[in-house]
Amino acid sequence: MDDETPEVVRAADEAYEAVREINHLTLTQVYAAPTVYSVLGNLKGMGHLLPQACTQLARSLGKSLNEYDVYEDDGRDPVQSVATAADHLTRAANLAAELGAELEKAQSAISRQGYRDTPLP
């Protein structure tokens, strides 16, 4: 990304890359509960923070209609597009809250697990 890329875009890119890296690492590696517990702690945090991000992005879109000369390249009404996006962001915020709660439950389920550092026969 170049120097003109907004910081918020860079932050979203870093979050995407981090989850992508988790996907690669967990594809072939086996992790015991203490490690997964830590990962889930961070992921649940994302789930709890995403609703706020979605809500604030929706609000920012709405405000952008008054701050910028917004247009649609196909002639549609930008107000309608923003309203549709805001509806989807509201739904995403609700789903993210559920995601955070489910990740917290998964973390809680393994909170007392440990492992012995000896291979199984």
Q: What is the pLDDT of residue 1?
A: 60
Q: What is the pLDDT of residue 17?
A: 97
Q: What is the pLDDT of residue 50?
A: 97
Contact in structure between 57 and 49 (CB atoms under 8 Å): no
CA dihedral 81, 16, 13, 88 (to 10 degrees): 10
Which amino acid belongs to residue 101? A
- Distance CA(101)–CA(44), nearest Å, equals 7
- Distance CA(11)–CA(82), nearest Å, equals 22
Q: What are 57's two structure tokens?
A: 């992005």
> What does the pLDDT profile of the chain (121 residues) look like in tens digits?
667 999 999 999 999 999 999 999 999 999 999 999 999 999 999 999 999 999 999 999 999 999 999 999 999 999 999 999 999 999 999 999 999 999 999 999 999 999 888 878 7
Instruction: Supply angle C-alpha 94, 98, 99, rounded to 5.
Output: 115
Which amino acid belongs to residue 15? A
- Distance CA(96)–CA(32), nearest Å, equals 26
